[in-house]
Amino acid sequence: MKYLVMVQGSQADYEAMGGKASAGSPAWNEQDMQAMFAFMEEINNDLAESGELVDANGLAEPAKTLFVRAGADGRPVVSDGPYGETQEVLAGYWVLDCASPERVTEIAARIALCPQPAGAPAHPVVIRPIGSGGDL
């Protein structure tokens, strides 16, 4: 079964990772960033070695999000994402092919242990099965 495993964040979290603290999001330093990158690289390497990794990526900050809607004339209407500083959005994801819900839950629990500065918000790791055919 394939699963989409997602981590969440807010614009304030991305700014904190860039060194700008805000209420509830302490500034990250270079050591914090390196610890996070090393942690994620180890998880990705382990998942690739086990054959469970299909794809994984971190996403750009919410401020770079674009929304596209169909206008009345059928042409695209593009606008910037209306994200408030505290709204959580998708920050990164893994597509995993796991033998069981227990296994993907084990992986998500490991992801939830990603190092971060003291006082940083603890966002949940979200698991969604990827439907196939009649499963949707």
> How confident is the model at residue 136, as a pLDDT?
43
> How confident is the model at residue 84, as a pLDDT?
56
Give pLDDT tens digits for 8-24: 998 889 999 999 998 87
Give pLDDT tens digits for 28-60: 999 999 999 999 999 999 999 999 999 999 999
pTM of the model: 0.87
Tell me how far apart the alpha carbons of residues 109 and 74 are, in angstroms, rounded to a whole number: 44
Element holding 12 (H helix, E strand) = helix 11-17
The CB density around residue 88, as the number of other CB atoms within 10 Å, is: 17
Could you tell me the CA-to-CA distances from 1 to 53, 93, 136 in Å, in that order?
Answer: 12, 16, 13
> How confident is the model at residue 86, as a pLDDT?
57
Q: Residues 2, 47: contact at Cβ < 8 Å?
A: no
Per-residue pLDDT for 92 more than 50? yes
